[in-house]
Amino acid sequence: MLASLAVLLLTAAAPVKEVLGPDPRLAAFQQFCLPHRLDPAAMISGFEQGGWSLSAADANPELAAVTQLDQDRASEAEATSETTILRRDNLFATVNVLTAEIAQDETARYGTCAIWDFDAAFGIPDQQASSLSSAESRIRLDQSYGRIVQWDLSSALPGAGNLQTSYFPEGSPAAVQTGFTGTAVFLTSDLGARPH
């Protein structure tokens, strides 16, 4: 789901809601996305064992929009994109594998795990997401219509890219580009990387 979230790189000031207790969306990400981030099949199995059920993109119109955006952008890049969707209560999870030819007889595979809360009234607190990384956070967008924050995990996790949290309130004009409003947290990893 990387393509639908990498947008609107602006900065300004916006208030952030203070949350008491662990954020359930980040907790799900930490429990199910991180342990098997280089093994999508094991990741999906972990979700199912944790009480998540397989679902489909048409279970939510915004989920359908972001998955279609990813498919379209993969096609433009002459890559293939396969997404497994899971659901528990009001949360959705997507496990996406993108396969792209980077040279003759050489392909690259990238796995993205994301947790989505399309009904969210606030984003994931920065201080909680920061607990997953020793890297400094980078605020890529902080406006009344949305917020994007990233942490570089590449030095701590082989093959990892940026951990990213995103929040777009209901009615945000950014939804034209992102395909959704609400909150998402995701990480993309190079599936060819070797774990430590």
Tens digits of per-residue pLDDT, 141-172?
Answer: 999 999 999 999 988 888 899 999 999 999 99
Name the least confident of 101-105, 115-119, 192-196: 192-196
pLDDT at 15: 42
Model pLDDT for residues 52-98, shown as the tens digit of each residue: 999 999 999 999 999 999 999 999 989 999 999 999 999 999 999 99
| For residues 137-143, average pLDDT | 94
pLDDT at 2: 47
pLDDT at 185: 98
**Cβ proximity of 100 and 79 under 8 Å:** yes
Query: Where does 112-157 have alpha helices with state H?
Result: 126-129
Q: List CB contacts of 177: < 8 A, sequence separation 6 or more.
A: 7, 8
pLDDT at 17: 55
Closest CA to 124 of 185, 63, 168: 185
- Reply yes or no on whether the pLDDT at 196 is more than 80: no
Closest CA to 144 of 181, 177, 114: 181
